[in-house]
Structure 1
Amino acid sequence: MGAARVAVVTSATGLDEDTDLPLLLEALRSAGLSAEPLAWDADPRGEWDGYDLAVIRSTWDYVGRIDEFLAWAEATARVTRLWNPAPLVRWNSDKSYLLDLAGRGVPVVPTRCIAPGDSYGEEDFEGSHGVVVKPSVSAGARDTARYEPGRGADAERHARMLLGQGRTAMVQPYLPLVEEGERALVFFAGTFSHAIRKQTLLTEPGEMDNARVAHPGAALHTPTEAELRTARATLAAVPSPDEPLFARVDLVLDEAREPVLMELELIEPNLFLGLDPRGPDRLALAVAAAAREA
């Protein structure tokens, strides 16, 4: 039997800009796998049945083509083993999953989702430290901004803009301790690998900057026991019979200095493989195990 064939799923942008990609490909090949990068929308289509495994990585253009991407995921899962699985990809593609996790007991940044046609009031856009408004389907903090106390009318205008585009708006309180850094804990097949800490993105109140650097000042971080506990509780609450092959759990401290979930990234997160020299090999071992199961 030859080496298992693994498609590392990316995009045109990912092929050019994903710094994790060459590290992962090298680690997979060193682990004895035949690994190739392939854009999810590559032509000719229909190649996916030639792979034992397709691992989604830097499909960074999916947000603007969400229906097409989800259809691709479901079609691909019918002809090969897709990681993370298509139902999990669909669930994680809309940040309203935070409400689902909160209902399962995960400590989550308080979140209000307003879909087109929903009623809302001025009180939804006020908070003691201001609020953050974002679309529920987004990546890289696109179309996201924070608003200081007393600027609720501006926050409401932002939400109305999203609703007018047929999108769901999310409103969350601004947690000032985010300025001490966001934490991102990376797991492979349910096992903690490494963590990073990065500077906050929303530095300018009222500014929706879609050209901002996605992960400013990212550096290795040693997570606290509380952070690890919250991250593991988050993964345990994921509604899937399968452990995610990869996951990034993004946390922030609340006013009591307790970690709360900001986002759970299961589709195409930056895994910061270049910051931990053992990270690529850990992911490659998880992929190799999934390939053997396939």
Structure 2
Amino acid sequence: MGRDAHVALVTCAGFPDLWDDDHPLRDALRERGVTVDAVSWDDPAADWSTYDLTVLRSPWDYVARHERFVEWARSVPRLANPADIVAWNTDKRYLSEIAAAGLPIIPTEFIGPGDSWTPSSAGVWVVKPTISAGSQDTARYTLPGESALAAAHVERLTTAGRTVMVQPYLSAVDTAGETAVLCIPDATGELTFSHGIRKGAMLTGPAGAPVDLGSERITPREPSAAELELAERVLAVIPGGAKRLLYARIDLIPGPDGSPTLIELELTEPSLFLRSAPAAAGRLADAILARL
């Protein structure tokens, strides 16, 4: 299927022509004869039943309307990645399930509405909501000097009915940086390693410090054997199996002992850094064609 295919790449009002890094995918699909529309997930005029496949890409304004977004995902007839994955993966409490499977994650404390939280006596800590995108409402604090600021951040989020996660800020963010392992289905439909990138540090201070996604420092990186092995183990514990997925991004960082540790598993709307690996857009376009 190619020239008769019609695919929606899902975005939001802030990026009506898609995020720039998704343009290579759009162009690769069009080169293969696919009709491609960029459609906001909340566009009331959209008829999702007319698309052979609807692919989530940059619907980044869903955070304040999370329940509505999940309901929308469940209403779309042919969605990649699937709606149950969207519901599971957009709440970072999934990390506790991954840790329960015996895989290394950054130590994480979850604080729900009505819970009390006592800041650590020292160290650098990251505070963020479990439902977020693009580092929204995320900040780092050096304790004890900024303990009051950290506590106020937690209280502000929990008072608003949100669940908070608190994690130690790993120094490797500023030295080695994060490694993102990007996976796309191969010719057999198995999700497999496509390319890797290095991400530099973004959080510069407490709540209110600006985070500019456009300034994110991205460079190609070949993941180590240990990072690839951990990525495979993470994919193996995804509910329903990884073969259902059109893409996956596994964000890793060296832990205190130097071994890779999971930061996040991005299955809903991650940047795929297609401009950092020129052949990747074609591979993803071919995987979409195979789904059709």
- What's the TM-score once normalised by structure 2's chain length? 0.91
Correspondence 1:284 to 2:281: no
Correspondence 1:182 to 2:178: yes
Over aligned residue pairs, what C-alpha RMSD do you find? 1.8
After superposing the two structures, state which structure 1 stretch, 111-120 or 282-291, moved more.
111-120
Aligned-pair distance for 1:22?
A: 2.0
Say if 2:126 and 2:169, in contact at 8 Å, map to a contact too.
yes
Aligned-pair distance for 1:257?
A: 0.9
Q: Distance in 2 between matches of 1:81 and 1:175?
A: 39
Q: Which amino acid aligns with 2:179?
A: R
Correspondence 1:28 to 2:45: no
Question: How many residues are aligned here?
Answer: 283
- Gaps spanning 5+ residues in structure 2: where? 186-190
Q: Distance in 1 between matches of 2:134 and 2:97?
A: 22
Correspondence 1:130 to 2:131: no
Correspondence 1:153 to 2:148: yes
1:110 matched residue in structure 2: 107
2:188 matched residue in structure 1: none
2:97 matched residue in structure 1: 100
- Structure 1 residues 213 and 38: alpha-carbon distance in aligned structure 2, compared to 1, 3 A threshold: closer
Q: Which amino acid aligns with 1:186?
A: L
- Gaps spanning 5+ residues in structure 1: where? none
Aligned-pair distance for 1:216?
A: 1.7
Q: Distance in 1 between matches of 2:182 and 2:50?
A: 29
Q: Which amino acid aligns with 1:174?
A: Y
1:56 matched residue in structure 2: 56
Say if 2:153 and 2:207, in contact at 8 Å, map to a contact too.
no
Runs of 4+ in 1 over 4 A off after TM superposition: none
Percent identity (aligned): 43
Aligned-pair distance for 1:16?
A: 4.4
Partner secondary structure for residue 194 of structure 1:
strand
Aligned-pair distance for 1:212?
A: 2.6
Q: Which amino acid aligns with 2:259?
A: E
- Structure 1 residues 152 and 266: alpha-carbon distance in aligned structure 2, compared to 1, 3 A threshold: same
Q: Deviations over 1:190-240 (max 9, x none)?
A: 111111112111123x24335433662111111111111111111111112
Aligned-pair distance for 1:14?
A: 2.4
- Structure 1 residues 48 and 94: alpha-carbon distance in aligned structure 2, compared to 1, 3 A threshold: same
Say if 1:141 and 1:210, in contact at 8 Å, map to a contact too.
no
Q: Distance in 2 between matches of 1:32 and 1:256?
A: 49
Q: Distance in 1 between matches of 2:44 and 2:203?
A: 38
Aligned-pair distance for 1:173?
A: 1.1
- What's the TM-score once normalised by structure 1's chain length? 0.90
Say if 1:201 and 1:214, in contact at 8 Å, map to a contact too.
no
Q: Distance in 1 between matches of 2:72 and 2:123?
A: 41
1:172 matched residue in structure 2: 167
Correspondence 1:74 to 2:74: yes
Q: Distance in 2 between matches of 1:210 and 1:59?
A: 21
1:198 matched residue in structure 2: 199
- Structure 1 residues 193 and 128: alpha-carbon distance in aligned structure 2, compared to 1, 3 A threshold: farther
Correspondence 1:234 to 2:230: no
Matches within 5 A, 1:204-243: 204=205, 206-213=206-213, 216-241=216-241, 243=243
Partner secondary structure for residue 13 of structure 1:
coil
Partner secondary structure for residue 143 of structure 2:
coil
- Structure 1 residues 32 and 219: alpha-carbon distance in aligned structure 2, compared to 1, 3 A threshold: same
Q: Distance in 2 between matches of 1:107 and 1:54?
A: 33
Q: Distance in 1 between matches of 2:8 and 2:267?
A: 17
